[in-house]
Structures are given as structure tokens and as C-alpha cells.
Amino acid sequence: MVKMTMIARVTDGLPLAEGLDDGRDLVDAEMYKQQVKALFKNLSKGHNEASRMSIETGPYVFHYIIEGRVCYLTMCDRSYPKKLAFQYLEDLKNEFERVNGAQIETAARPYAFIKFDTFIQKTKKLYQDTRTQRNIAKLNDELYEVHQIMTRNVQEVLGVGEKLDQVSQMSSRLTSESRIYADKARDLNRQFVICFLLHVGFDSKVGSCCHCVGSCVPPLLGESKVMVIQL
């Protein structure tokens, strides 16, 4: 049985529409919705490249398809036929593209196409009973195959996204630290050059060169000659 349906834009994870009646009879409905949002976030970052996938979560399975930068996702009982789930999503995709295709990229607020819920509810009713003649015919349709669609665990999928985020953050931090180190090295080198040139530019005795300009220049200013150096 179809339990939940959500549609989101892949480029930024913006939710576009969902079934308004979804999850009312579902234990831990909010937890599953949070998993869907996390999945959309991963997809927006390009963590999952498959355009069709099934993801097991507890007693249910998320099925999704990606077409035209839009993700169509449904959550069903594990016993619900995978073939019907993906045909249900195909029906949603075809109608959503027909009605809202030209406005998908410009949508700026969440659930901009919430009125699509009417079609979601109508279509979901057609797919609820797997024993109807219509659905039996779809199950027997040899032209529509789902055997090659990958099935994974939700923790595995979301965990990959978290690890990639950590790697990305670590890489950014190392890049930032290396830039800071390079800047400090450049400053120290400049200070050394200043001290060296000031040292060799005096006729009289000078003190030993220091590590910084602030501590090096004052003793030298009391001598007979001062050099102006531009770096």
C-alpha cells in the first residue's frame, strides 16, 4: 500500500508537492518525512547518481525516480509490488510535467504546486488494491521491468552523504589552513629580507637581526644611516 508521496526539485531539494493525507495513520510519520528531506538534500548535492532507486527503511521502502531535475518519491509497505510503485511514480511524473513543467525551475517557495495533491490522491486510490484487474495487468506488463533498479538501506544511503559532507568539510579546512600557513611564511620571509637589507645597509655596528620588524628596526634607527626599502 502507498503510504507517502513527495515531489522535490533535485537541484536544491526544494519540496514542490506532497500527498496531504499521507502519514495520518502512520507510526513515526515525522521520522520518515525527515528521512525523505535528508534524502532530497543528498540528491541536491549529487551524492546519489541513480535515477531510479529503492531504499529500505524499517517496514517500508522508499521508491524514487528522477526526471527533468525533479524527484518523485513514494513510501510503500515492503510487501507492495515494486513494479506498481514505479508505475505509480511514472503516472505522477507524466502529469506533473504536463501541468507544471514550465514553472518548475522558477518555483521559489516550498510546496508551490500543492494543488497537485488532488491528482496524487486520485492516482493513489487506483494503485492501493493490487488485486484489481487494472493493477494485475500492470504487474504482468513485460515491457516495464524493475529488476535492475538498485535496492539499498536508508542508513547506508544517508550515511554516504554524511561521510561525503565530512570529507568536503575537512578538505575545505585543510585548504584554508594551508593558505594561512602560506601567508605566514610569506610574512616571515618579508621580515627576514627587511632585517637583512637594513643590516647590510649600515656602516656602523648593528645588533643581531630579529624575527620581526618591530623588534629589529628600533636599534637600527639610532645609527647614522637609514635605508628606505619598498617590498
Nearest to 87 by CA among 2, 197, 155: 2
Q: How far is CA 226 from CA 191, 206, 214, in A?
A: 16, 12, 15
Q: Is residue 10 part of a domain?
A: yes
Q: What is the pLDDT along the chain (231 residues), one digit of tens a residue?
A: 899 999 999 999 999 999 987 777 788 889 999 999 999 999 888 876 689 999 999 999 999 999 989 999 999 999 999 999 999 999 999 999 999 999 999 999 999 999 999 999 999 999 999 999 999 999 998 878 898 899 999 999 888 544 433 333 433 444 454 556 556 667 777 777 777 677 665 444 444 444 444 444 444 444 444 444 444
State the total domains in the chain: 1
Where on the phi/psi map is residue 23: left (φ > 0), alpha (ψ -120 to 50), or beta? left
What's the one-letter identity of residue 187?
D
Q: Is residue 224 part of a domain?
A: no
Report residue 217: phi and psi, to 5°.
-70, -45
Return the pLDDT at 201: 58
Residue 224 CA from chain centroid, whole number: 65
Return the pLDDT at 184: 67
Full domain range(s) for residue 12: 2-148
* Inter-residue contact 75 to 43 (CB < 8 Å): no
What's the one-letter identity of residue 197?
L
Q: Is residue 203 part of a domain?
A: no
Crossing angle of helices 213-221 and 154-200, in 10° steps, is 10
Q: Is residue 25 part of a domain?
A: yes
Q: In CATH, what number is assigned to the domain containing residue 105?
A: 3.30.450.50
Q: Is residue 221 part of a domain?
A: no
Q: Is residue 75 part of a domain?
A: yes
Nearest to 130 by CA among 88, 93, 72, 75: 88
- Torsion angle of alpha carbons 123, 128, 133, 134, nearest 10°? 20
Strand ranges (DSSP E) for the chain? 2-9, 15-18, 52-57, 60-67, 70-77, 150-153
Return the pLDDT at 9: 96
Q: Is residue 20 part of a domain?
A: yes
Q: Is residue 118 part of a domain?
A: yes
